[in-house]
Amino acid sequence: MKVTQDFVRRLPDSRDHFARQQGLWQRIHIDPILLLLLLMLTCFGLVVLYSASGQSEAMVKRQFVFFSIAYIAMFVVAQLDMQMVRRWSPWLYVFGIILLILVFYIGVGAKGAQRWISLGVVRFQPSEVMKIAVPIVTAAYFSTRSLPPKFREIIVSLFIIVLPAILIFKQPDLGTAILISASGLIVLFLAGLPWRYIIGTLMLIGASVWPMWHWVMKDYQKQRVLTLLDPEADRLGAGWNIIQSKTAIGSGGLQGKGLLNGTQSQLDFLPESHTDFIIAVMAEELGLIGVSILMALYLLVIARGLHIAWTSQNTFNRLLAGSITLTFFVYVFVNIGMVAGMLPVVGVPLPLVSLGGTSIVTLMTGFGVLMAIATEKKKVVV
């Protein structure tokens, strides 16, 4: 029995009387609230980047170009039919896995890691594909199952999630591997993973800390954790970043030293000030007030994303929208927490603020998916 157009009918919707007003946004598949929030974040990000890059106009222009491309990507993705996306998702996933395997053979590297495939002018990071592919394929998988998932389905979904994560971990890129796993696990959680599994897993993780530390983790990874616990122990090495970024944040105080007046960042004490550690620049120059505004913007974006997920009308859309939103949160949390010395330093940029083309395009593609979901005609599949 195939679902045909006959079985789809409009439900009486309490928001029907807004339909006419929202007609334009609906037609161009843009969620105006989310767009506004993203634009605000983007502008905020450009200003902070201008300061963090040592007032480099070239860098800001570059970032502006990235944003333009990313907004276009978002707009294009927002036009996609989610059911089509759902059907094509396995192929996207397979394509991504092949690219990840290819990285080991034809990949190019930097700083001891092999993460990119060179396409002539552009270098392309296959793990970015997986950031989108994993939640989509996991959501698609659960959308065809009756929820909450059964044990066998959980095992299958875990396999789907863990395979790319292992490949990425081998590059090695622990941060991305964790984030991609998280995006899949969030789908699993939202799909109704039974609490007994959640609690059981948490207990298992707790028990495996010791063997992980001794058998699995590499020295540089251990070093990051140790540094987190005691940054002063390695003042000039790994601890330097944390000490300097905490100093930058702390010395900013409530109101900050004023834009472009951050001594820590402007005098090069802060490493990677325009990429991963950019929030330290902001905290120093705009103070706790600036940080709070930024956090509020992120929180609003996340709330809007969850609202879109909540109001979407089918399981696939719900799970995918929820996963994209919560993964976005994980990015935000890991970066802000890492710079403040709460989490180990893993290479995670601050979403939409740090300099970086791929990360912005990937994120905005995700928001494109959210918009596609938000503006999909409300349908009920019987």
Residue closer to other proteins by CB (options 111, 152) is 152
Residue closer to other proteins by CB (options 114, 263) is 263
Assess contact for 108 and 58: CB atoms under 8 A. Answer: no
Supply the minimum distance, in Å, between the C-beta of residue 66 and other proteins. Answer: 26
Q: Which two tokens stand for residue 287?
A: 């103070």
In the complex, the residues that contact other proteins under the rule CB under 8 A are 1, 3, 87, 90, 141, 144-148, 186, 189-192, 244, 246-254, 263-264, 267-269, 283, 287-288, 291-292, 295, 298-299, 302-303, 306, 309-310, 314-315, 318-319, 322, 326, 329, 333, 336-337, 340, 342, 380-381
Residue closer to other proteins by CB (options 172, 271) is 271
Angle between helix 278-311 and helix 357-375 axes, rounded to 10 deg: 20
Q: 118: part of which helix (H) or strand (E)?
A: strand 113-119
Residue closer to other proteins by CB (options 70, 294) is 294
Residue closer to other proteins by CB (options 104, 310) is 310
Q: Which two tokens stand for residue 255?
A: 């109101």
Neighbouring residues of 82: CB distance < 8 A, sequence distance ≥ 6: 316, 317, 320, 369, 372, 373, 376
Residue type, 358: T
Residue closer to other proteins by CB (options 91, 104) is 91
Assess contact for 97 and 104: CB atoms under 8 A. Answer: no
Supply the minimum distance, in Å, between the C-beta of residue 119 and other proteins. Answer: 29
According to DSSP, the residues that pair with 123 across neighbouring strands are 118
**Cα–Cα distance list, 199 to 161, 206, 330 (Å):** 19, 11, 20
Supply the minimum distance, in Å, between the C-beta of residue 295 and other proteins. Answer: 6
Residue closer to other proteins by CB (options 322, 356) is 322
Assess contact for 66 and 357: CB atoms under 8 A. Answer: yes
The counts of H helices and E strands in the chain are 14, 3
Supply the minimum distance, in Å, between the C-beta of residue 201 and other proteins. Answer: 16
Determine how many CB atoms are found less than 10 A away from the CB of residue 365: 21
Supply the minimum distance, in Å, between the C-beta of residue 109 and other proteins. Answer: 25
**How far is it, in rounded angstroms, from Cα 351 to Cα 45?**
9
Cα 293 to its chain centre, rounded Å, is: 20
Supply the minimum distance, in Å, between the C-beta of residue 186 and other proteins. Answer: 8
**How far is it, in rounded angstroms, from Cα 246 to Cα 248?**
5
Supply the minimum distance, in Å, between the C-beta of residue 344 and other proteins. Answer: 15
Supply the minimum distance, in Å, between the C-beta of residue 92 and other proteins. Answer: 12
Residue closer to other proteins by CB (options 291, 361) is 291
